[in-house]
Amino acid sequence: MSLLATFAGAPVWLSNSDIVQRTGLPAPTVARLTRSLTGMGLLHYSAHRRRFRLAAGVVRLGYGARCEAHLAERARPHMQRFADRHGVHVSLAVLDRTDALHLEVCHSASTLVTLRLEAGSRVPLATTAAGHGILACLSEGERETVMKALQVRDEEDWPQAAEAITKGLDAIAVLGFSRSVGGWQTDVNSVATPFRSPFHDGAMSIACSAPAGHLPEERLDEIGDELLVLAGLLPGQDTEDLDAFEMA
């Protein structure tokens, strides 16, 4: 990524030696990376110029990032109102290998200091409600692939992790949301629901978390039901539905 970023503020065409000079990377490393990136369609090599330029594959990457930013921008004000109303932390997370990656995070006044999560932070898939919501979005084949990767990563704790995942998916099948009591941190409770949007093809979830004192176990079902309403409204951004939701 550092290599690709050198093209942003540079002339269109760069040689391997130009890239070495701009990045400080060893010449053999640059040669290997430019060869790989060319094969991946992210760089184009001109034999005549003996130089590289960015290729169409980078546009695809940029489009994907723009879609995520657009989704987060549209979701943010409604997530923030939800966080403020219920005194919880609200996050929009997407699958990233074996983690849940936060695209957007909104804190209430009561969770701003106690939960130090921001956009770009990660939490485990296996032991969090957010992770269970993401796994519920996957097809059976996709979920099996992720589960195998999780088992390799967490081999020693896999029996407990697999049990937590099963319970979370079962709850989503019945209630529409997963509950976690001290699953991510011992003093933090959370609830999450799968989330699908026309602005993003990936598996996502919306989760609410708070210290157990702010979000006791007996409130999880109440917040989960409210979360289902929020998740159902955000993808289409229907104005009348959102106005009704904000007045509730």
3-state helix, strand, coil in the chain (%, to 5): 50, 20, 30
Instruction: Give the Cα separation of 137 and 68 in Å (integer).
Output: 17
3-class DSSP state of 139? coil
Please tell me whether residues 21 and 87 are part of one structural domain.
no
CATH of the domain at 40: 1.10.10.10
Looking at residue 242, its pLDDT comes to: 41
The structural domain count of the chain equals: 2
Q: What is the pLDDT of residues 24-54, one digit of tens each?
A: 899 999 999 999 999 888 898 888 889 998 8
Residue 186 and residue 225 in contact, taking contact as beta carbons nearer than 8 Å: no
Mean pLDDT of 221-230: 93
- 222: its two tokens: 């109440």
Please tell me whether residues 81 and 29 are part of one structural domain.
no
Looking at residue 241, its pLDDT comes to: 42
Q: State the residue range of the domain holding 197.
A: 63-247
CATH of the domain at 96: 3.30.450.40
- pTM of the complete model: 0.69
Please tell me whether residues 28 and 112 are part of one structural domain.
no
Please tell me whether residues 141 and 226 are part of one structural domain.
yes
Please tell me whether residues 88 and 10 are part of one structural domain.
no
Residues 6+ apart with CB under 8 A from 123: 93, 99, 100, 102, 117, 130, 131, 184
Please tell me whether residues 81 and 198 are part of one structural domain.
yes
